[in-house]
Amino acid sequence: MNIAIDGPAGAGKSTVAGKVASRLEYVYIDTGSMYRALAWAVHNQGLPIADERTVSELLQHNQIRLVREGGQQHVYWNDTDVTAWIRTPEVSQYASIVASYGSVREQMLVLQRNLAKQGNVVMDGRDIGTHVLPDAEVKIFLTASIRERAERRWKELLAKGSQAQLADLEKEIAERDYRDMNREAAPLRQAEDAVLVDTTGMSIDEVVEKILQICERMGESAQ
């Protein structure tokens, strides 16, 4: 069985997808980290983010790898572990720009389908249920109010010692959601056969249990 989890920024996709995967002993694949790794490389090399061809060629000539280390998923740009550098607000904005390019998405689609080939994966992103794994047995569209999603990110950053302002984060998330939902290539939207889970006011554990119940129901009806 494959499980696709999509939704806007801060909905809890990575946290919940990782926990669901470990409960089911599935492989977790964070597709956002792949767009982020490419965005990091563009930023780090000072390349023109507005030039689709430059960005697409950069991806073509380099390698993104997801590696499991110490129970955590790490993302590599060639031989460099970039995991710790891809969550900054600048890289987030760059990620949603590189993700708007059709030629980048085509390459990512091939990489991501390859990663899911062995089956029994939990993959999270924006277009997993609609494009990457349209035949996934379970599709979840995870969301929460924009205020709560911004607050979650804010608490996460404060815990890391950041001075981030809640209002700035809310603006950053709203801009990114708008770009993700309104791009031409594989925009963020709920697949017709996805189950909507609004996590506003729900704890991580409650969401994990809810998704496991949905998986059980879908798994039974698929048999």
Identify whether the C-beta of residue 29 lies closer than 8 Å to the C-beta of residue 112. yes
With binding defined as CB under 6 A, does residue 9 bind ligand CDP? Answer: yes
Contact string 122-161 vs ligand CDP (x = CB under 6 A): ---xxxx-----------------------xx--x-----
Q: Which of 2, 3, 13, 218 binds ligand CDP (CB under 6 A)?
A: 13
Question: Of the candidates 20, 75, 95, 194, which one interacts with ligand CDP according to CB under 6 A?
Answer: 95
Q: Is 11 annotated as a binding residue?
A: yes
**Residue choice 12, 29, 154, 197 for contact with ligand CDP (CB under 6 A):** 12
Cβ closest to ligand CDP, residue 99 vs residue 121: 99
Residue 175's SS3 state is helix
Q: Is 199 annotated as a binding residue?
A: no
Q: Give the nearer residue to ligand CDP in terms of CB position, either 34 or 222.
A: 34
Give the count of residues interacting with ligand CDP (CB under 6 A): 31
Residues in the chain: 223
Helix (H) or strand (E) holding 73: strand 72-77
Check residue 99 for interaction with ligand CDP (CB under 6 A).
yes
b/e burial code for range 85-111 (CB count within 10 A of at least 16 → b): bbbbbebbbbbbbbbbbeebbebbbeb
Q: Is 41 annotated as a binding residue?
A: no
Q: Determine whether the annotation assigns residue 8 to a binding site.
A: yes
Asked if 59 touches ligand CDP (CB under 6 A), the answer is: no
As given in the structure block, the two tokens for residue 117 are 């080939």
Q: Is 12 annotated as a binding residue?
A: yes
CA distances from 43 to 3, 85, 92 (A): 32, 11, 11
Helix spans in the chain (H): 13-24, 31-44, 52-60, 89-98, 102-115, 146-159, 166-182, 204-222
3-state SS assignment for residue 56: helix
**18 known member of a binding site:** no
Return the amino acid letter for 172: E
The annotation status of 102 as a binding-site residue, yes or no, is no
| Cβ(157)–Cβ(88) below 8 Å | no
176 scored as a contact of ligand CDP (CB under 6 A): yes
Q: Residues annotated in the binding site, as ranges? A: 7-15
Question: Could you list the residues that contact ligand CDP (CB under 6 A)?
Answer: 7, 9-15, 31-33, 35-36, 92, 95-96, 99, 125-128, 152-153, 156, 176, 180, 199, 202-204, 207
Q: Residues annotated in the binding site for ATP, as ranges? A: 7-15
